[in-house]
Amino acid sequence: MSTTTSETIERSTKTDQFVAPDYYQLDELLSEEHLLVRSAVRDWVKKEVSPIIEGYAEVGKCPLHLFPQMGALGALGPSLPAKYGCGGMDEISYGIIMQELERGDSGIRSMASVQGSLVMYPIYKYGSEEQRMKYLPSLAKGEMIGCFGLTEPNHGSDPGSMLTNLTEDGDGGYILNGAKMWITNSPVADIAVVWGRVKNGPIKGVIVEKGMEGFSAPVIKGKWSLRASITGELVFENVRIPKENVLPNVQGLKGPLGCLSKARYGISWGAIGAAMDCYDSALRYSKERIQFNKPIAQFQLTQKKLAEMITEITKAQLLSWRLGALANKGKASPAQISMAKRNNVEMAIKIAREARQIHGGMGITGEYPMMRHSMNLESVITYEGTHDIHLLITGMDVTGLNAFK
């Protein structure tokens, strides 16, 4: 694993004063375990993420040294079984972890959600016992980094038309050719879970390992969003995939889409974290900032902004909590997950913008988190299915008519 040293980025001495809003006393709906998990991750974010994140985002570096720390916290694959070194937690705990990580930064949540939901989950769900035992414990500890390759240069919203292909190689293995685009963590990943179409056959998943001949993962530069997360391509030129690296227990697009359901659920919680951070900063700033001899919080227009923010955050919290309760019973449908991802990310992006306005000119600086969250959320509203794709999934669910075909 390549690393970016934390020494190169100065730690901020500013105290993270975040206080989470809980307007409807939703903490009463959480168990002791949920509260403990939340407090552990919140404290860690205050101590290890808040002091460095603006610095990393500014220079466009990924704080890879946080991977093993997230592993130690149990934030990587938290709801997978303890047998594989994971937390065995429920879906609400998983959501809370994503909320707290994204309160720090969407890029940090991305590191954890790709690792847990898009790499560890498919290996657990679709892999053999040998594959689980080989990869999951190291991934859970953050000693190994994984990435997920579905999107291609010419096939984003429509992954079913993918060109990446697998040609049978006689002994149950394949020869992999093609390219994937916009892949979180790919340049630093030790393994990639990659989806390709078997020639004249179904889509299958394979585990590609760093160093396999014909495999490269160039970085994508010039991002103004998720600057503390590393994104790249995956390029396969006649890469030989042995049988033991083929995921045996799934075929078809439902394989990768099943992983996306898990990750989108986490994002619905994560976006609440980003929104809470912006709201909290705006509330504090508006009570401290004096104009016309009054705190700006005393002006009706500021109160309207803050009142609308807390209303939307509260609605999103209720939506994700209920989704989590359904997920715990195995009853959260993909369309319900789409609704929550879409609603909560849009809610967060709007709040980041309004909170920025409340901070006036100061709001455009890295002294406050809104611009960073705002820019990050431009990716979050696009990846894991765009805002409009999720709208069409809801539309399809309620009408029974498919706008994609």
Residues in contact with ligand TGC by CB under 6 A are: 110, 113-114, 148, 150-151, 157, 159-160, 184, 252-254, 257-258, 260-261, 334, 383-385, 389, 393, 404
149: partner contacted, choices ligand FAD, ligand TGC, none (Cβ within 5-8 A by kind):
ligand FAD
Is the CB of 236 or the CB of 383 nearer to ligand TGC?
383
Listed residue (167, 166, 173) closest to 242, CA to CA:
173
Of 4, 128, 138, 157, the one binding ligand FAD (CB under 6 A) is 157
> Is residue 148 within the footprint of ligand FAD (CB under 6 A)?
yes
Is the CB of 148 or the CB of 215 nearer to ligand TGC?
148
253: partner contacted, choices ligand TGC, ligand FAD, none (Cβ within 5-8 A by kind):
ligand TGC
369: partner contacted, choices ligand TGC, ligand FAD, none (Cβ within 5-8 A by kind):
none
For residue 95, what are the β-bridge partners?
none
- Is 48 catalytic? The answer is no
State the nearest-atom distance from the C-beta of 185 to ligand TGC, in Å: 8
**In which residue are the tokens 């592993």 written?**
71
Q: Which residues ranging from 326 to 385 are in contact with ligand FAD (CB under 6 A)?
A: 379, 382-385
Is the CB of 92 or the CB of 339 nearer to ligand FAD?
339
From the candidates 54, 91, 102, 384, give the one annotated as an active-site residue: 384
**In which residue are the tokens 């890469």 written?**
239
> Is residue 150 within the footprint of ligand FAD (CB under 6 A)?
yes
Which SS3 state, helix, strand or coil, does residue 197 take? strand
- Say which amino acid occupies 10: E
State the nearest-atom distance from the C-beta of 103 to ligand FAD, in Å: 19
Listed residue (248, 243, 230) closest to 188, CA to CA:
230
Helices 32-44 and 91-104, interaxial angle, to 10°? 20
- Label residue 31 exposed, middle or buried (CB < 10 Å: 0-12, 13-18, 19+): exposed
252: partner contacted, choices ligand FAD, ligand TGC, none (Cβ within 5-8 A by kind):
ligand TGC
Q: Which residues ranging from 176 to 215 are in contact with ligand FAD (CB under 6 A)?
A: 182-184
Could you give the CA distance from residue 17 to residue 240 in angstroms, rounded to a whole number?
A: 51
Supply the DSSP string of 260-323, one letter for each residue. Answer: HHHHHHHHHHHHHHHHHHHHHHHHHHHHH-EETTEEGGGSHHHHHHHHHHHHHHHHHHHHHHHH
Of 151, 164, 302, 336, the one binding ligand FAD (CB under 6 A) is 151
Pairing mode, strands 290-291 and 294-295: antiparallel
> Is residue 224 within the footprint of ligand FAD (CB under 6 A)?
no
For residue 155, what are the β-bridge partners?
152
**Element spanning 2, H or E:** none
Is the CB of 164 or the CB of 286 nearer to ligand TGC?
164
What would the two tokens of residue 13 be?
Answer: 């001495």
Is the CB of 23 or the CB of 404 nearer to ligand TGC?
404
47, 100 contact by CB (below 8 A): no
Listed residue (29, 25, 105) closest to 63, CA to CA:
105
Extended strands (E) in 100-173: 146-149, 165-168
395: partner contacted, choices ligand TGC, ligand FAD, none (Cβ within 5-8 A by kind):
none
> Is residue 80 within the footprint of ligand FAD (CB under 6 A)?
no
Could you give the CA distance from residue 399 to residue 401 in angstroms, rounded to a whole number?
A: 5
> Is residue 231 within the footprint of ligand FAD (CB under 6 A)?
yes
Length of the chain: 405
State the nearest-atom distance from the C-beta of 24 to ligand TGC, in Å: 28
State the nearest-atom distance from the C-beta of 312 to ligand FAD, in Å: 22
For residue 180, what are the β-bridge partners?
234
> Is residue 389 within the footprint of ligand FAD (CB under 6 A)?
yes
261, 137 contact by CB (below 8 A): no
334: partner contacted, choices ligand FAD, ligand TGC, none (Cβ within 5-8 A by kind):
ligand TGC
> Is residue 88 within the footprint of ligand FAD (CB under 6 A)?
no
260: partner contacted, choices ligand FAD, ligand TGC, none (Cβ within 5-8 A by kind):
ligand TGC
Catalytic site positions: 384
The residues that touch ligand FAD, with contacts defined as CB under 6 A, are 114, 147-151, 156-157, 182-184, 226, 231, 379, 382-386, 388-389, 392, 404
